[in-house]
Amino acid sequence: MTVSKKVLANIPALCYSLSRECWVFRLPLNKHYQQYNMAKKKQIIPDGTKVKFIKYAEGMPEGDLEAGAMLTVTGYDPEEDLYNVEGKDGIEDSLDSEEFEVLKEKPKAEEKSAEDLESEAEVLEDEAKVLEEEADELLESVVPKFKKTASITAALKEHKGDALDAAYDYAERKEKTVWVLGGILAFIKRNNLHSEVVEENDEGIEVPVYGSDLTGFNQYVKDELGLAPRTADYYVNIYECFSQITTESAIAKVGWTKLRELIPLKEHLTKDNVGDWLKKAKDHTAVELHDYVTEELVSNDTEGSVHGSRQTAKVETFHLAAPEDMATNWRKAFDTAREVIGAEATESACMDHIITEWIAVHNAPEEG
């Protein structure tokens, strides 16, 4: 096809005209494109969302945020496509969505009806009772539950349940009430009742006189009852040991001095063999019973007892001579010891008691 020179000459004018038409058409097109593009950049992450800052994007100006900072989304700038965030310390910044990560919200607890909650509470209560029973059984396997015999129950009833008042009363009756006094003291010790003794301080406020520990108990029996701590310990041990495995009537047939001799066997005494040992105590003197107990402990190779083990259990003999006036003092001391540990106590037992009490007094920590 041949194009005339006239057509060729008009091509520049035609192109200019077309270019103007296209420019005029592009103006509204560009406007609509911008509106479409803005609509695409809408806020995806809502205000109030918790996010964690990762790091600033490369090539972007850095602010004051540190990696790991916890932030809250407070707004969105669609023109810049940036999220406004704020930290707990008040630091504000604008971040791209790639500069932080949205924290996962913890699932909300399922709302339960009152009936469901009541049912769950009953289940938990039943489980708690089972655990409490198991704990009591475990504790009782280690420390047997305190057993109130008839005489202890009667003594407490006589004093309207006041164990401290009963202790004051029975402490004055000495050997005739060793069993009852031992039971009352055991009850006081088990329940830390001695720590309920109070006195007023300088400000008129009642404060405990004795601590709830063993030191407080020992000081209580010494100050309030006039008993040596070692003696009170014998009383308590006799009651705690025999009240668990035999009857009060069986114990009444044996003097407390002989019962004291049996205390080292408390780990070996049971409901099955206690009757044999009580019979042996009735049929023999305290000295003979002491030897039987020593023999039993040695045969069981018992360490840590007052009689020692197979390797340490032996008897040493002391020959002491004294002028008449000194011997008189010794006899008085032995008689005093027998008032505490029993009329049948041997001179060796009296000497052991006197020396032990002397050591306890002189080794006691100074007050103040």
End-to-end CA distance of the chain: 131
pLDDT value of residue 43: 66
pLDDT value of residue 185: 94
- Convert the pLDDT of each residue in 63-103 to its tens digit: 888 888 999 999 998 888 889 999 888 888 888 888 999 98
Same domain, 240 and 253: no
d(CA 51, CA 86): 10
Same domain, 145 and 236: yes
Same domain, 158 and 212: yes
Question: What's the number of domains the chain is made of?
Answer: 4
Same domain, 325 and 300: no
Whether 353 is in a domain gets the answer yes
Domain CATH code at residue 77? 2.30.30
Same domain, 170 and 218: yes
Asked if 53 and 99 count as a contact pair (C-beta separation under 8 A), the reply is: yes
Range of the domain at 286: 247-315
Same domain, 172 and 225: yes
Low-confidence ranges of the chain (pLDDT < 70): 1-43, 106-111, 134-144, 174-176, 301-317, 342-344, 360-368
Same domain, 145 and 235: yes
User: Can you give the pTM of this predicted structure?
Assistant: 0.49
Whether 43 is in a domain gets the answer no
Same domain, 171 and 230: yes
Same domain, 265 and 172: no
Hey, what amino acid is at 223? D
| Local structure of residue 248 (DSSP, 8 states) | H
Whether 14 is in a domain gets the answer no
Angle at 302 between CA 301 and CA 303, to 5 degrees: 115
Whether 173 is in a domain gets the answer yes
Q: Which residues contact 226 (CB under 8 A, 6 or more apart)?
A: 171
Asked if 155 and 170 count as a contact pair (C-beta separation under 8 A), the reply is: yes
Give me the residues paired with residue 206 across strands: 200
d(CA 181, CA 170): 6
Same domain, 224 and 259: no
d(CA 45, CA 328): 102
d(CA 54, CA 96): 11
Task: Spell out the alpha helix ranges (H) of 56-149.
Answer: 114-142
Whether 346 is in a domain gets the answer yes
Q: Residue 294's closest CA among 317, 261, 259?
A: 261
Sign of CA dihedral 287, 290, 296, 301: negative
Asked if 237 and 266 count as a contact pair (C-beta separation under 8 A), the reply is: yes
Whether 135 is in a domain gets the answer no
Same domain, 144 and 236: yes
SS (H, E, C) 300-341: CCCCCCCCCCCCCCCCCCCCCCCCHHHHHHHHHHHHHHHHHH
Whether 4 is in a domain gets the answer no
φ, ψ of residue 42 in degrees (nearest 5): -100, 160
Same domain, 216 and 300: no
Whether 28 is in a domain gets the answer no
Edge-to-edge strands of the sheet including 82-87?
92-95, 82-87, 70-77, 50-53, 100-102
Two structure tokens written together for 113 = 């009806």
| Local structure of residue 155 (DSSP, 8 states) | H
Residues counted in the chain: 368
Two structure tokens written together for 188 = 């006081």
